[in-house]
């Protein structure tokens, strides 16, 4: 049986272990729920992780050149970009695939695969870099969203004290500040 065939044959077990490893980055309660609930709307994180990792595994082990980034994986990275992970934690889960492959196929199989294993390992590395690019794009987008909210100026209005507050006998300094606001 070729290396490719073995990767295909063990696909469901390998992907399941990989997903389990990735979800272990959340609390035990969180991970257990993300794994259990199958409804994609009741459990968007779990669905994105499962669908995204399955799709990318097929790309990684297939012959075809790397295809488009699965939308669910992109969504998963986007979510991790706004969770409390460091950048390396947010994308580093990709590397968990390697120990999972060792566990599921055994070193002997991998060593025997030689060049093919080395190529797969390199693909995994490249995927991590791609996901890091996505992560950075997502963070930039987040800052654009923040900036756009800031530009709308709601905070200025909220912070600009209503001059009628001066009627309440506030300090002289505050009145001066209010005059400045009014003059603006």
For another protein, the closer CB: 9 or 144: 144
**CA-based radius of gyration for the chain:** 25
40 binds another protein (CB under 8 A): yes
Contacts of 127 (CB under 8 A, 6+ apart): 56, 60, 94
For another protein, the closer CB: 118 or 165: 165
99 binds another protein (CB under 8 A): yes
Query: What letter would DSSP give residue 64?
Result: S
**Backbone phi, then psi, for 63, in 5-degree steps?**
-80, -30
117 binds another protein (CB under 8 A): no
* CB 11, CB 68: distance < 8 Å: no
112 binds another protein (CB under 8 A): no
141 binds another protein (CB under 8 A): yes
CA distances from 119 to 52, 92, 113, 131 (A): 21, 19, 10, 18
Instruction: List contacts with another protein (CB under 8 A).
Output: 17, 20-22, 24-31, 33-34, 37, 39-45, 75, 78-79, 82-86, 88-89, 92-93, 95-96, 99-100, 102-104, 106-107, 141-142, 144-146, 148-150, 152, 154-155, 157-165, 168, 170, 174
């Amino acid at each position: 049986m070729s290396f490719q065939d073995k990767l295909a044959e063990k696909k469901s077990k390998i992907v399941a272990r990989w997903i389990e490893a990735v979800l272990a980055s959340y609390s035990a309660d969180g991970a257990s729920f993300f794994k259990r609930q199958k409804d994609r709307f009741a459990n968007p994180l779990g669905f994105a992780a499962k669908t995204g990792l399955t799709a990318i595994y097929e790309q990684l082990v297939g012959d075809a050149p790397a295809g488009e980034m699965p939308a669910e994986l992109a969504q998963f990275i986007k979510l991790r970009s706004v969770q409390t992970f460091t950048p390396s934690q947010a994308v580093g889960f990709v590397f968990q695939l390697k120990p999972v492959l060792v566990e599921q196929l055994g070193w002997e199989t991998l060593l025997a695969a030689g060049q093919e294993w080395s190529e797969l390992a390199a693909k995994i590395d490249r995927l991590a870099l791609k996901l890091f690019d996505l992560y950075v794009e997502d963070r930039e987008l987040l800052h654009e969203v923040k900036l756009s909210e800031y530009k709308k100026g709601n905070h200025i209005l909220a912070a600009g004290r209503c001059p009628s507050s001066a009627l309440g006998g506030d300090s002289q300094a505050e009145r001066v500040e209010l005059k400045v606001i009014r003059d603006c």
